[in-house]
Amino acid sequence: MILSFNYTAAQQDSTLQYFNLGFVVVIFVNILSVLYYILNVWIDIRIGKFDTNVIKIHQFIYVTCPIGSIVLIAQKIMIILGLPYGYDYDDRTFQFLHHLRTSTVFPGLICLTAFVIERFCATVYLKDYEKRNRWWIGIIIGIGLYTVGGLLAYSLALFATSLYHTIFLLALSITSCMGNVLNYKINRRYYNACQRSFDGKYSLAERYQISDNIHFSFFFNRFASSIFFFTILCPLLMLAASFDIQWFYRNIFISLFELSYSVYTILTPYIIYKFNIRWHQEFKKVVATVRILQNPLDSSNSYSFAVHVTFSDKTNRCDRGMC
């Protein structure tokens, strides 16, 4: 199955001009997605904290978003201009761009599984997970995401239907939520044991990791519930586009899938960064700096605000023993 807009069918039923208007919206959303990625990564670099496996996995997934967005923008522009590179199934350029974009879609749709696997590793290595920098866990999970995403994209082109892929994605999302509940119960049991233990059985590092795992389980619930609509909608639209129906309706489902996933690439990182205190502190400092440049007369207030944010950030780090 080629999950791509059928240009010839749209020409034949005189709907191409209407789809082109929709493509302008898709292009606009994806430009916002790329700009939002640049902003987030720039602030991440300013913070300079890429040491945890959760952040590594997040960056593995997030980097696929601008790649897929840029490819999709190029394809839609070529379709609007009538260039065969954007729609001709037999064109090698189209085939390369299509498979590249499809490969970047699947890692985002299976991101919940990656985070659950990482938290299970944190539970297995409870004694010294944070103390010993097991960077290879994040790398292996990231490579696994790319491998599974590539295999799903390749197999999608071999089958006439996306039914198996839809079932796999939906089952994976549900299994991830169940895995998070299981991981929470395991760590909750450890936590209760810590509360009853007064003989030093659990070290301070273990207690911290148990608390961190429980805290992440709550974050996972909020995160999963926020994006669950798209993790269900996107596979269902992909399935609907593979039905043996008129190409007008298939083009609609394909276009809705592309638009839905484009919005998903903005919503998902927004939710992740929404709960990142360090990101918000750095963002406030950037805003304060911009205000100084735009309004030098008000620089004293902006400077005071920036100093306050910096001091708060430093105080939080000291409270966590990071000074």
- Please say whether the beta carbons of 238 and 3 come within 8 A: yes
CA-wise closest residue to 250 among 261, 260, 259, 239: 239
Q: Return the number of other C-beta atoms located less than 10 Å from residue 144's C-beta.
A: 17
Quickly name the fold that domain 7-259 has.
Rhopdopsin 7-helix transmembrane proteins (1.20.1070)
Distances (CA, A) of 217 to 176, 192, 195, 254, 321: 11, 16, 19, 34, 23
The angle formed by the CA atoms of residues 218, 219 and 222, to the nearest 5 degrees, is: 90
Q: pTM score, two decimals? A: 0.84
Predicted pLDDT at 291: 81
The string of pLDDT tens digits covering residues 57-104 is 999 999 999 999 999 999 999 999 999 998 988 899 999 999 999 999
CA-wise closest residue to 52 among 267, 284, 212: 212
End-to-end CA, the chain = 55
Q: Please give the single-letter amino acid code of residue 264.
A: Y
Predicted pLDDT at 319: 47
| Domain ranges across the chain | 7-259, 276-323
The string of pLDDT tens digits covering residues 146-172 is 999 999 999 998 887 889 999 999 999
- Please say whether the beta carbons of 164 and 9 come within 8 A: no
The string of pLDDT tens digits covering residues 37-69 is 999 999 888 887 667 888 889 999 999 999 999
Q: Dihedral of the CA atoms 179, 185, 190, 196 (nearest 10)? A: 180
Q: Is 160 helix (H, G, I), strand (E, B) or coil?
A: coil
Q: Tokens 């990656």 label which residue?
A: 114
CA-wise closest residue to 53 among 267, 259, 167, 216: 216
Bigger pLDDT: 8 vs 300 = 8
| Mean pLDDT of the 226-242 span | 92
Q: Dihedral of the CA atoms 112, 113, 118, 123 (nearest 10)? A: 100
| Mean pLDDT of the 128-136 span | 80
